[in-house]
Chains A and B, each alone.
Chain A
Amino acid sequence: MKMKFSIYRYNPDTDKKPRMQDYELEIEEGSDMMVLDALLALKDQDPTLSFRRSCREGVCGSDGVNMNGKNGLACITPLSDLKGSKVVIRPLPGLPVIRDLVVDMAQFYRQYEKVRPYLINNDEPPAREHLQSPKDRAKLDGLYECILCACCSTSCPSFWWNPDKFVGPSGLLQAYRFLIDSRDTETQSRLADLDDAYSVFRCRGIMNCVDVCPKGLNPTQAIGHIRSMLLQQGV
């Protein structure tokens, strides 16, 4: 079975503008493969095709791309999941393209840095470690699993229009992960950092983030919790 692909190409040294290039791949009848395997096979045909990948099992978060209009990880998206006669692969939307499917993630990481994504505890250091009850630990489930692939933030219209001011779904999920951590003592200053018209409140509940997250996480819900915390602090 011949499968058709249309892939976004841009080479900064030779191209003025990006273009779509068609490819064909022979796939054994009745078999399936991940989009990343298809991309690697296409790279054998055309070694100039560039994309990021590393662990090839949905853990490292490097191969986030837009497949048939939806963001996801190429390594854990089977070709059979993509409907239509042609598989269209484009880079993650909204971020500057360095080359082909490789985007510049600097804006995304800058928002991540802003939320101080590390535990801060200003109490006297304990003799061994900061203890946490299983109940408090359970509050981090659904938050700590984020792999920073940027699928969510680059599917979010609020992030497209304000990538410098809106923290974005990924950053806010991480922000909540530390706001709710019982061992963190900087809750108040973390909330104060987010208390403006853009950082959190540019979220309009569009839920594209939840729709695309390859780890099945829910940034919309985390943002809702941050809003409630900000509200509680305000009254």
Chain B
Amino acid sequence: MIERARHLSEFQIALRNFRKNRLAVVCVYVLSVLYGGALVAGFLSPYLFKNEDRNYSYAPPTPVKIFTEGQLTRPYVPAMELTFNEYNARVYKIDLVKKYPVRFLVKGDEYRLLGIFPCRYHLFGVEAPGRFYLLGADARGRDIFSRLLYGGQVSLSIGLIGVLISFMIGLLIGGISGYYGGRLDDILMRLCEMVMMVPGFYLLLALRAAVPDSFNSVQVYFAIIIILSFMGWAGLARIIRGMCLSLREREYVLAARGFGLSDFKIVVSHILPHTLSYSIFAVMLSIPGYILGESGLSLIGLGIQDPYASWGNMLSDAMSIVRIKFAPWILWPAFFIFLTVVCFNVIGDALRDCLDPMLKAEGEAQ
């Protein structure tokens, strides 16, 4: 019997090694759930992010009951009524007489599915006078679960788009700088150092100052992405430059030059692909920085503005720490920020481990 030899490409080998890391694979699934949830936030959430009811300020998570007097029934939520105790603190009384059955595919606030199709159906919810707060309510009586999903759209996408922009700039500037060397290299690297020399958060604040107050939420969102990418490219550019300095001396680059390829083409299609294995895990490990940057900015009120949700600005409620005591559920966004950051870190580390042999092999070939 002839045994067929299987040939695996370097990429396939890396993928196989990656799959061996159980934790990293779990993290990929967790991230998929988070991103998927954010993508169809309108459908999964019972309410729109700005649907508020001031009668339910800081309402606790609604209990879901499945028993009526010992009998198993369909799940329902009891009505909640706002009362005040002797210290004038809010107490929500549960009224078991009024029941609102939990329904699936209920009609509610209109939203746009995937940002395109107008739709009124929500995966679950309760009929109008009842309110269903899966994870509690915020100061204005908005559903935290819904806002987490909508906030994920902002917080999760900022990381991806930001990293994409800053890596394109970083790769290009690093590549050009390393390939040409000389005067151009000097100027570009001084520019890099200038950006890196300013403490990150100060630069963030100064850049934010340049965004006009007249911007609307969408414009602010893009402004924040641009600000974060402006801060992120320098570190990568320096490392890519170092790699290109040695790559440009290789024979195949000489050959490409001999064939009369344009410099730009050589950099983009012959030099930069060799820095790919480094870039892949560097991307993963730098996404948390963007997410935390946005959260930090929104936390102090300079990021995404109310009523739009982002994990950072939802957390700004918890800045007055006394609230944490009587409404601990306002800390949910922090948990999701943490979860996302952990996942990206684990995946980044796993990628580095399985791409490293390739990096080492490249180093030895020189």
* A and B together in one complex: no
A interface residue numbers (CB < 8 A to B): none
